[in-house]
Structure 1
Amino acid sequence: MKPSPLLIRLLLIAALCALAVSAARIWWPSAAGLLTSAWWLGMGALALASALDFATGRHCQGLSGQRRLPGNLALGVEQEIQLDLENRGPRTLSLLLTDQIPAELRGRDLPLQIHLTPGQEIRAPYRATPIRRGLAAFGRLEALVSSPWHLWQRRVLFGEAQEVKVYPNFLGISSLQALSTEQSLRYMGVHQQQRRGEGLDFRQLREYRRGDSQRQVDWRASARMQKLISREYQDERDQEIIFLLDCGRRMRTRDGDLSHFDHALNALLLSAYVAIRQGDAVGLQCFAGDHSRLPPVKGEGAINLLLNHVYDLHSGTSHSDYTAAAEQLLARQQRRALVILLTNVRDEDSEDLTAAVQQLSRHHLVMVACLRERALDELLEKPVADFDDALMHGAGRDFVQRRNRLLQQLRARNTILADALPSAMHMSLVETYWQLKRSGRL
C-alpha cells in the first residue's frame, strides 16, 4: 500500500494550514487557540479516515483478468490488444491499469482508468505497435487499486504471462492470397511484359482467340475439330530461387521506423510468395554473422515455413564477406537456380562482390538486389545554403557516383540488378523476377 495522490494533497494542505496557524499566533493571537484546535481536529479526522481506509482497502479480492492477443503480430503494424476484466469482489474497484509490455512493442493509451462494480465484466482495449521482430514475452497485468475512500493505492498483479511471435510484415501477403497471379501483380503495380514463347511448358488445347499468334495454332487439332485450335502454354515450373541474405552491419541502417534488414525481409517474403504461387521452390541462406539455411521448399505451406524461419533473424555487427558466402552456397546448391543477393553495396565492396558474382554465375543465374539509402537522396535534394552544406553535398555526390560505377561494372558482366529504395524493394524484386520468368531465362 502506498499513499494516493489524494492523500498526499490532503497532507500538503494540512502542512500549509499548520504554517497558517503558526502565523496566526504572531499576527492574530486571539484566534490562535481556536485555529490550533481546528487543525488538530482536522488532523485527527484525517488520521482516523486514513487508518480505516487502509484497513478496508488493504485486501483486494475478486479482481481477475486476461489478455487477448492475436495469433501473431506483424512488424510496424499497429494492433489492438484486448484486456478482459472482472470484479468478483464485494466492493466497487477503482484502478489504474497497465500492461507489462515487452521491449519488442510500443504501446499507447496506457495506463487505463477503470471502474468495476461488484460482478461487472468489461473489455478494455489498448493499441500496440511491434518495433522489433522475434518472440515477444508479455508479463502480467498490473494495476494500482484505490482504497474505498481513495486515500491509498495497492499494487496488484494478476492475469498470466503470455508470448506472441512478431513476424516481418506479412500483411502484404495476406492481401494477395485471394487474388490470381495477374491480379496480384497489378495490385502491386508490377508491369507485365509479353512473353516470347520460349522456355514455356505446354498446358492445354483450347479454341483460337483473337490475338493468338500463328505459331500457337495446332493445325492437326484444327483439322480434326473443323475450327481453329490453339496451344496454351504456362510458365515453366519447378524452378529454384535461393535468397542470399546479408545479415551484416550495413543492413542495420534505418530507413524510417524499419532497418534495411527489415525492409529486405519484407521484400524477400513478398517476392517468395509470388514465386511459390508460380510453382517454384524458394530457399534461403544467410551470411555475415548468421549462417542459418532453409533448403528450397514449395507448395502451400512453404511461405509459412519461410516466415517461421526468418521471424527472429536479426542483422549483426559482422563484416559482409561475399566471396565466402558464394563458396558456401556453391557447396550446398548443386542444381541451377536464380540466386538473389539482398544487400547494401558500397564501392569498397567492388573486388569482393565482383569475384563472388563471377563464382556464382558459372552455375547459377545471379541477381543483386541493392538497397539504396534514402538519406543520400535527401542529401542531394537539399539546397546548399553554406560551405558546410556544400561539403556534405559534394561528399554525398561522390559516394553516389562511386556506387553507381560499381553497379555499372556488375551490369557489364551481365549481372541482373534490382536497385531501389528499401520501401520499394519488394516491387523491384517481384518485377525483375516476373520479367525473368516470362522471358524464359529462369
Structure 2
Amino acid sequence: MLGGKGRSLVVLGTFLLTAGFSFKNYYLIICGVFFLFATFISLPAFESSMNIDELHVTREIDNTRVFRDDFMHIKVIIKNTGGNKFDFLDIFDQFPAKAFRLVTGENYISTRIDPHKTIKFSYVLAPRVRGEFEFGPLEVTVRDRLGFNAEKRIVPKSLTDIIIYPPYEQIRALELMGAQRAMAMSFGIHQTKKKGTGTDLRNLRQYVAGDQFRLIDWKASMRLQKLIVREFESERNVSTIILIDSSESMAGGAVDATKFEYSIKSAMLLAKIAMEQKDQVGIATFSDRSNFRWLAPTTKRSHFYDIINFLGEITPQGKKEIYWSIEEFSRSWDKRSLVFLITDLEIAQLDVLAAFRKLKSYGHAVCVISPFSPWFEIHELELTSTDKALAEAISEEMMLHIVNIKKDSQKLGVPVISVAPDDMFEVIMAEYQESKRVGKAE
C-alpha cells in the first residue's frame, strides 16, 4: 500500500494534472503525470523486493498473572528469516493504557534488520487496576527508503490475556484482618457449638424413647441402674455463599475505588473470616446470561487462593439480570446456606424482590449489602458525614428506590444494608458475626 508520502504525491499529482487540463498548462500536466507515474511504478518494485512474511515477530511476557503492585517485563523479538534487508521497519506493541503504565523502555521500535539477523527490544509496565485485560496485538510496518510505499501487518495470535490481582500487600492485609476477626469471634458470646453427633461430649442424660442404642453409656447405666445416653456436640458450621453483582453499573466510582472493587475486597475478607471459622465458602459473580460464574464451596486448604484467582479475572460488564442469575445459582447449589448478596440494586424493584423470594424459597438466610452509588462517586473528595448526607439528598430518586426495596424486603426477612467505602468492610464483618451468633442457616 502507499505510505504517507506516497499518498501525498498522489494527491499532488492529481491536483497538478487537473490544474494542467483546466488551464491548458502542459508543464503542470507533465509534472502531474510524473508524480503519479513515479508513485505507482515504485509500488510493484517495493512489493517484489520486500516480503514481510520473512519477518517473524514474537512477544515474551515473564508472567501473565501479576499483582497490581508488581511489574511486567515484556520482550519483543524480531527475526529476519529471509535474504532481503529491511531498511525501514517499525514494530509497535499495543497494550491497554487504562490497565498499565509504561515505567521504562518503549513499546515500539524503528530500525533496520539485515538478512538472517535478530533484533530485540523490551520495556516494563506497571499495572494500574485489577481485572482481566487483552494485551496486544503486535503491529509490523515495512517502508521503502523514500517513504512512498508501506506495508502493515498484524502479527497473528499476538493477543495475550493478562490477569491483574489486587496488590499483594492488600491481600495479605485482608488475610490478617480476616484471621484476627475470626479469632475474636472464637472468644465472643456467640454460640459456636450445637447438640448433635459430633466428637465432643456434651453431657449424660436418661434414655428416652427414640434415642439411638449406640449412644447408650453402658457403664453409667450399670452404675445408676437405668439407661443413660451420651449427648455430643459438634461445631456449628455453615456454607457461606457470596454473590457479587458484576454488571456494568458496579463500575461506578473512582478508578481504583469503584463499587465493584470494594465488593471484591469485601468478598475476600468475608471468605477469609468464614474459612477461619471452618465454614465452606462459595463465590458467584453475575450480570447477564453470558457472565455468570460460579466457584463451588470446598474444604481445600488452598481455597482462599482459588477465590483470589477466581475474582481476579472478573471485570464489570453486561446488564443486570438478577432474577435469572439467582435461578442459575440455585441450579448450581441447593444446599441451605448463609448467602451474602452484594449489589447496588440498580434494577427494577419487582426483579429484586423476585430474586429475594427465590433465595428464601431454598431456605437460605440472606443478607444484602448494597454499595450506594453517590457515596462511592464522591469517595475521593473526602467529604464529611454531613456532605455525604447532602449527596444522599441529591440522589433522592435512587435513595427512594432503595428505601422502597428495604421496606418490602423486610417482610421477606431479608435485611438490605446500604454501605459507603469507609464502612463496607465493618458492615459485612458485623453481619457475618451476627448471623453466626443467632445461628442463621442452621
Q: Same fold (TM over 0.5)?
A: yes
Alpha carbons of structure 1 residues 263 and 316: separation in structure 2 relative to 1, 3 Å: farther
Kept in 2, the 8 Å contact 1:323–1:356? The answer is: yes
**% same residue:** 11
1:322-401 paired onto structure 2 within 5 Å = 331-333=334-336, 338-345=338-345, 348=349, 352=354, 366-374=366-374, 396-397=395-396, 399-401=398-400
CA deviation digits over 1:395-435, x for unaligned, max 9? 952552463365467679986654214x5686245532675
1:91-240 paired onto structure 2 within 5 Å = 91-98=85-92, 112=108, 114-118=110-114, 119-125=117-123, 141-158=138-155, 160-161=157-158, 163-164=160-161, 166=163, 170-172=165-167, 174-178=168-172, 182=176, 197-199=188-190, 239-240=237-238
Cα drift, residue 305 of structure 1: 3.2
TM-score by length of 2: 0.58
CA deviation digits over 1:304-357, x for unaligned, max 9? 433565646976553527997998799423xxx533222344794586577668
Deviates most, 407-416 or 427-436:
407-416
Separation in 2, partners of 1:199, 1:295: 27
2:268 aligns to what?
269
Separation in 1, partners of 2:173, 2:127: 28
**How many pairs were matched up?**
373
Matched, 1:305 2:306: yes
Kept in 2, the 8 Å contact 1:245–1:341? The answer is: yes
1:284 aligns to what?
283
How big is the alpha-carbon RMSD for the aligned residues of Structure 1 and Structure 2?
A: 5.8
Cα drift, residue 145 of structure 1: 1.2
Cα drift, residue 171 of structure 1: 1.1
2:323 aligns to what?
320
CA deviation digits over 1:130-170, x for unaligned, max 9? 99967x6767633221124432112334464455364xx63
Cα drift, residue 252 of structure 1: 4.5
SS of equivalent to 1:142 = strand
SS of equivalent to 1:320 = helix
Separation in 2, partners of 1:428, 1:277: 17
Gaps of 5+ in 2: 194-233, 382-391
Gaps of 5+ in 1: 27-31, 203-235, 382-392
Separation in 1, partners of 2:333, 2:155: 54
Alpha carbons of structure 1 residues 242 and 131: separation in structure 2 relative to 1, 3 Å: same
Separation in 2, partners of 1:24, 1:83: 57
Kept in 1, the 8 Å contact 2:369–2:416? The answer is: yes
Deviates most, 145-154 or 312-321:
312-321
SS of equivalent to 2:120 = strand
SS of equivalent to 1:3 = coil
